[in-house]
């Protein structure tokens, strides 16, 4: 594995995002939905804050990130181009990490326009900088974790729609784990720690805790290793 | 250059390739020939490290594929069947991407050279998804040769092309084959005759024949057939007469037309045509046609591949 190959693959995938309309549509939808909720709060409730934006983000990203990552391997498997990719002097790790990085970077880029909300909020109100910074740092980890899951699922199927739906289901399960524990007996409350929302909200409070970062990093590492195993499974 | 020993590949319970061994010398153009589903693509995929053999070892330029796949991948340029290259890129960007993935330094110069060789200069700024099959195949070929590999592996390089494109691609392969070791798979016999120095015929995952194309032709000369068409007798009489001639092999009936036809196999180096003529004359039949049929690669192929199936069933 080397950085160069993964970087080349990442660049190609990012370029592919910008040459296809799908990614623009997904980003536009993401911004429209977020913009609607943000400005509803802003004008209707006269709240100049981003707390609700970050509260919705784990759910929104759970839907949008799989739409970005679904094609990464499925399309290659469908067209057969994966055969060319994997017979070039690259390891399966290079390919998976390149694609995972492309998905993460694109998810991060889709957040860039929301910095306008932050600027608006800073101008109009006097927000606490901790949650803003924490929110964006958490958002990057959140996007990367969902992207890793998306890449892993995409590596298992030729069908992009299947890849989208399975990744969505996995993401929603992780999200729900933080949010349904209220209904569970107290013995099962520990399940909360497996939920993605729980860890994201911790960071979004402005408290960047090592444990929360470890949670996101473990998701990424597990998903990347699983994707490599799934792709190498074909060899057997 | 390439040596495969005891290669076996199972997909679950299905045995796609069964214990085959072959070695290919440097500078040869080798055709891997076989009916569809014979195991050609599986064999090529094992050579290119896309698939792991269930059993057996492959040495490419003295490097084991199982030990150093990255090194092997550097030595090989591979064009999979129907050239599945990214449709969302323009040709130039695609080649640039491949060059940087392979760590080629003077990529612009390299791309210009390869574009000239493969005849894709006029489509360099077209989207790959808009290319015709012939151009797409050539871009795939350019991609495979970009890093100047010692070995070029092409899976059905001419399938789906029109006759002019086929001739063009074959010419290109012959041109490249002067400097490189080439393996191509095909189920078209004339392709092997036209381009390859050597042919490995695969059937049901087994090697049915492995020889130089020239040798196959001369060995096939030993199995020539003579076609005889007469009137004045039925097939039974004709076949008895033909079979009684010294040097004649099995006789087969030829159907069709008003004439009584038979085809008789002749053993090596023996010409029995004068004997046939005399026999026909003695019986008072009328000879309409007598022709020596040299067995083509096609009939060898048919014999080997259908014969193999009969053995197993």
Structure tokens at A130: 């901790």
Chain B partners within 8 Å of A22 (Cβ): none
Q: What ipTM, to 2 d.p.?
A: 0.86
Please check whether residues B199 and B250 belong to one and the same domain: no
Residue of A8, A81, A91 with shortest CB distance to B100: A8
Q: Could you report the per-residue pLDDT of A142-163, keeping only the tens digit for each? A: 999 999 999 999 999 999 999 9
Chain B within 8 Å of A20 (Cβ-Cβ)? yes
Rounded Cα distance between A168 and A151, Å, is 12
Rounded Cα distance between B62 and B50, Å, is 18
Tens-digit pLDDT string for chain B (313 aa):
888 888 999 888 888 898 899 989 888 899 998 888 888 899 999 999 999 899 899 999 889 988 899 999 999 999 998 889 998 899 999 999 999 999 888 889 999 998 988 888 999 999 999 998 888 988 999 999 899 899 999 998 887 788 888 888 888 888 888 888 999 998 887 788 888 888 898 888 888 888 887 776 666 555 678 888 888 888 888 888 888 888 787 888 888 778 888 888 886 567 788 888 888 888 888 888 888 876 666 667 777 777 544 433 3
What per-residue confidence (pLDDT) applies to B223? Answer: 66
User: Per the domain annotation, does B206 fall within a domain?
Assistant: yes
Structure tokens at A197: 């929302």
Q: Do B103 and A4 touch (CB under 8 A)?
A: yes
Question: Which residue segment(s) compose the domain that B44 sits in?
Answer: 2-211
Structure tokens at B126: 């077209």
Please check whether residues B108 and B241 belong to one and the same domain: no
**H or E element at residue B242:** helix B235-244
Residue of A8, A12, A83 with shortest CB distance to B84: A83
3-state SS, residue A112? helix
| Chain B (124-183) residues lying within 8 Å, Cβ to Cβ, of chain A | 140, 143
Of B160, B179, B211, at which residue does a domain stop? Answer: B211
Rounded Cα distance between A200 and A202, Å, is 5
CATH number at residue B246: 3.30.70.1340
Asked if B77 contacts B152 with a C-beta cutoff of 8 angstroms, the reply is: yes
The dihedral through the CA atoms of A104, A110, A112, A116 has a sign that is negative
Please check whether residues B205 and B253 belong to one and the same domain: no
Chain B within 8 Å of A91 (Cβ-Cβ)? yes
Q: Which residues pair with B55 in a beta bridge?
A: B8
Rounded Cα distance between A122 and A188, Å, is 40
User: Per the domain annotation, does B302 fall within a domain?
Assistant: no
Please check whether residues B152 and B8 belong to one and the same domain: yes
CA torsion, ordered B71, B76, B81, B83, to nearest 10 deg: 100
Residue A234's closest chain B neighbor by CA?
A: B51
Q: Do A87 and B73 touch (CB under 8 A)?
A: yes
Residue of B71, B78, B84 with shortest CB distance to A80: B84
CATH number at residue B66: 3.40.50.300
Lowest mean pLDDT among A103-107, A140-144, A183-187, B39-43: A183-187
Please check whether residues B146 and B284 belong to one and the same domain: no
In B135-224, the DSSP E strands lie at: 151-155, 181-186, 198-203, 206-212
How far away is chain B from the Cα of A152, in angstroms, using its nearest Cα? 19
Q: Which of A10, A84, A228, A232 to mutate to test the interface with B (most CBs of B within 10 A)?
A: A84
Q: In what order do the strands lie in the sheet with B181-186?
A: B76-79, B151-155, B181-186, B29-33, B198-203, B206-212
Chain B partners within 8 Å of A234 (Cβ): 51
What per-residue confidence (pLDDT) applies to A91? Answer: 92
Rounded Cα distance between B18 and B9, Å, is 7
Nearest CA to B209 among B91, B301, B283, B119? Answer: B301
Number of domains in chain B: 2
User: Per the domain annotation, does B308 fall within a domain?
Assistant: no
Nearest CA to A202 among A190, A189, A215, A191? Answer: A215
What per-residue confidence (pLDDT) applies to A59? Answer: 92
How far away is chain A from the Cα of B287, in angstroms, using its nearest Cα? 58
Chain B partners within 8 Å of A80 (Cβ): 80-82, 84
Q: What is the DSSP letter of A187?
A: G
Chain A within 8 Å of B93 (Cβ-Cβ)? yes
Please check whether residues B162 and B244 belong to one and the same domain: no
Asked if A153 contacts A167 with a C-beta cutoff of 8 angstroms, the reply is: yes
The band of A103, judged by pLDDT with boundaries at 50, 70 and 90, is very high
Q: Exposed/middle/buried for A15, CB within 10 Å: 0-12, 13-18, 19+?
A: middle
3-state SS, residue B48? coil
User: Per the domain annotation, does B75 fall within a domain?
Assistant: yes
Task: Describe chain A by its helix, strand, coil percentages, rounded to 5.
Answer: 85, 0, 15
Q: Exposed/middle/buried for A62, CB within 10 Å: 0-12, 13-18, 19+?
A: buried
Chain B partners within 8 Å of A15 (Cβ): 89, 93
How far away is chain B from the Cα of A85, in angstroms, using its nearest Cα? 9
Stronger pLDDT, B110 or A43, i.e. the higher one: B110
The dihedral through the CA atoms of B86, B89, B91, B93 has a sign that is negative
What per-residue confidence (pLDDT) applies to B312? Answer: 35
User: Per the domain annotation, does B307 fall within a domain?
Assistant: no
Q: In the predicted model, what is the mean pLDDT of residues A197-205? A: 89
Nearest CA to B167 among B190, B148, B199, B143? Answer: B190
User: Per the domain annotation, does B169 fall within a domain?
Assistant: yes
Of B155, B184, B211, at which residue does a domain stop? Answer: B211
Please check whether residues B12 and B87 belong to one and the same domain: yes
User: Per the domain annotation, does B311 fall within a domain?
Assistant: no
3-state SS, residue B6? strand
Please check whether residues B156 and B50 belong to one and the same domain: yes
Q: What count of residues does chain B have?
A: 313
Please check whether residues B68 and B148 belong to one and the same domain: yes
Chain B partners within 8 Å of A91 (Cβ): 70
Rounded Cα distance between A97 and A92, Å, is 9
The dihedral through the CA atoms of B73, B76, B80, B83 has a sign that is positive
How far away is chain A from the Cα of B116, in angstroms, using its nearest Cα? 22
Q: What is the DSSP letter of B296?
A: P
Of B211, B232, B259, at which residue does a domain stop? Answer: B211
Q: Do B52 and A80 touch (CB under 8 A)?
A: no
Please check whether residues B179 and B47 belong to one and the same domain: yes
Q: Could you report the per-residue pLDDT of A203-233, keeping only the tens digit for each? A: 988 888 889 999 999 999 999 999 999 999 8
Please check whether residues B131 and B195 belong to one and the same domain: yes
Asked if B169 contacts B1 with a C-beta cutoff of 8 angstroms, the reply is: no
* Phi-psi category of residue B155: left, alpha or beta, with phi > 0 → left and psi -120 to 50 → alpha: beta
Please check whether residues B37 and B151 belong to one and the same domain: yes
User: Per the domain annotation, does B313 fall within a domain?
Assistant: no
Pairing of strands B248-254, B286-293: unpaired
Structure tokens at B257: 């037309």
Chain B within 8 Å of A84 (Cβ-Cβ)? yes
Q: Which of B70, B104, B127 to mutate to test the interface with A (most CBs of A within 10 A)?
A: B70
Residue of B80, B87, B88 with shortest CB distance to A84: B80
| Chain B (23-82) residues lying within 8 Å, Cβ to Cβ, of chain A | 45, 48-52, 54, 70-71, 73-74, 76, 78, 80-82
Nearest CA to A80 among B32, B72, B41? Answer: B41
């Amino acid at each position: 594995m080397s950085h160069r190959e993964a970087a080349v693959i990442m660049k190609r995938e990012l370029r592919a995002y910008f040459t296809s309309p799908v990614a623009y549509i997904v980003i536009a939808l993401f911004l429209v939905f977020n913009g609607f909720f943000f400005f509803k709060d802003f004008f209707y409730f006269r709240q100049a804050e981003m707390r609700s934006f970050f509260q919705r983000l784990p759910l929104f990203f759970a839907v949008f990130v799989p739409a970005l990552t679904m094609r990464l391997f499925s399309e290659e498997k469908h067209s057969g181009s994966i055969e060319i990719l994997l017979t070039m002097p690259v390891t399966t790790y290079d390919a998976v990490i390149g694609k995972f990085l492309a998905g993460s970077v694109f998810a991060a880029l889709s957040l860039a326009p929301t910095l306008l909300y932050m600027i608006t909020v800073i101008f109009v109100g006097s927000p606490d900088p901790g949650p803003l910074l924490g929110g964006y740092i958490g958002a990057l980890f959140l996007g990367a974790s969902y992207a890793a899951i998306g890449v892993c699922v995409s590596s298992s199927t030729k069908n992009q729609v299947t890849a989208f739906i399975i990744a969505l289901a996995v993401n929603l399960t992780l999200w729900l784990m933080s949010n349904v524990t209220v209904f569970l007996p107290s013995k099962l409350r520990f399940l909360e720690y497996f939920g993605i929302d729980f860890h994201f909200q911790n960071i979004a409070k402005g408290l960047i805790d090592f444990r929360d970062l470890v949670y996101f990093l473990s998701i990424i590492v597990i998903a990347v290793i699983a994707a490599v195993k799934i792709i190498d499974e074909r060899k057997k | 250059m390439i040596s495969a020993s005891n290669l076996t590949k199972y997909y679950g319970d299905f045995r796609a390739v069964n214990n085959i061994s072959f070695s290919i010398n440097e500078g040869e153009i080798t055709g891997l020939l076989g009916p569809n589903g014979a195991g050609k693509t599986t064999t090529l995929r094992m050579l290119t490290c896309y698939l792991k053999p269930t059993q057996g070892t492959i040495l490419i330029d003295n490097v084991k594929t199982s030990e150093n796949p990255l090194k092997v991948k550097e030595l090989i340029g591979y064009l999979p069947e129907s050239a599945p290259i990214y449709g969302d890129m323009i040709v130039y960007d695609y080649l640039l991407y491949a060059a940087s993935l392979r760590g080629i330094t003077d990529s612009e110069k390299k791309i210009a050279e390869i574009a000239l060789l493969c005849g894709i200069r006029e489509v360099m700024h077209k989207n790959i998804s808009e290319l015709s099959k012939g151009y797409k195949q050539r871009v795939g070929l350019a991609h495979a040769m970009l890093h100047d590999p010692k070995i070029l592996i092409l899976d059905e390089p001419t399938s789906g092309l029109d006759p002019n494109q086929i001739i063009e691609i074959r010419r290109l392969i012959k041109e490249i084959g002067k400097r490189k070791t080439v393996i191509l798979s095909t189920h078209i016999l004339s392709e092997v005759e036209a381009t390859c120095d050597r042919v490995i015929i695969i059937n049901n995952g087994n090697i049915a024949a492995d020889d130089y194309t020239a040798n196959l032709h001369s060995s096939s000369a030993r199995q020539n057939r003579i076609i005889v068409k007469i009137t004045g007798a039925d097939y039974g009489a004709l076949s008895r007469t033909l079979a009684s001639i010294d040097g004649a092999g099995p006789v087969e009936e030829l159907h069709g037309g008003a004439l009584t036809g038979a085809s008789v196999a002749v053993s090596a180096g023996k010409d029995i045509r004068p004997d046939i003529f005399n026999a026909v004359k003695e019986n008072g039949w009328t000879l309409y046609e007598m022709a020596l049929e040299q067995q083509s690669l096609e009939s060898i192929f048919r014999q080997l591949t259908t014969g193999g199936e009969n053995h197993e069933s």
